[in-house]
Amino acid sequence: MSEFNDPFPNYEVLAQHDEAHGKIARKKLWKVFWLLLIITLVEVMVGIMAPQWGLSHLFLKFFFIGFTIVKAFYIVYTFMHLGEEERWTKWIIIAPFTGFILYLIFMMTIGEGNYAKTRRIDNPINTENVQSAPEHK
């Protein structure tokens, strides 16, 4: 019986690792868990304290997006074993995502979001303050 009291063989047996390698793998998992927990707790604390600290919405958006990207990178780096790959393989995987993220940031900053604001059916905002795009025929 394993430590989980189930009839399945231990991870070490299935992956053909010895107990020493299993301890190293579990130690790595716990490190990742604690790091991600700390980052998440910092995010929650900043989210709760933001009104009292007078943080702007723009700062909060960049803060949360940045921390989410850091957590996603660390998960991919650790659990998808990207950290163990060759340098060129990392770039082949990371470069398209980096380009896409930069594209999204660029599109957010040039104001493409205003188009959707003026075309919604329920008209949730005052359209007098938003410049509307010319009508297409």
Q: What pLDDT was estimated at residue 57?
A: 85
Q: What pLDDT was estimated at residue 58?
A: 84
Q: Which residues of the chain have pLDDT under 70?
A: 1-4, 6-17, 109, 111-137
Using CA atoms, how far apart are residues 127 and 75, in angstroms rounded to an integer?
42
Looking from the CA of 92 toward its CB, the CA atoms found within 13 Å total 5
pTM: 0.56
Q: What pLDDT was estimated at residue 24?
A: 85
- What is the Cα gyration radius of the chain? 23
Task: Compute, in degrees rounded to 10, the torsion defined by CA atoms 74, 78, 81, 82.
Answer: 20
Q: What pLDDT was estimated at residue 80?
A: 79
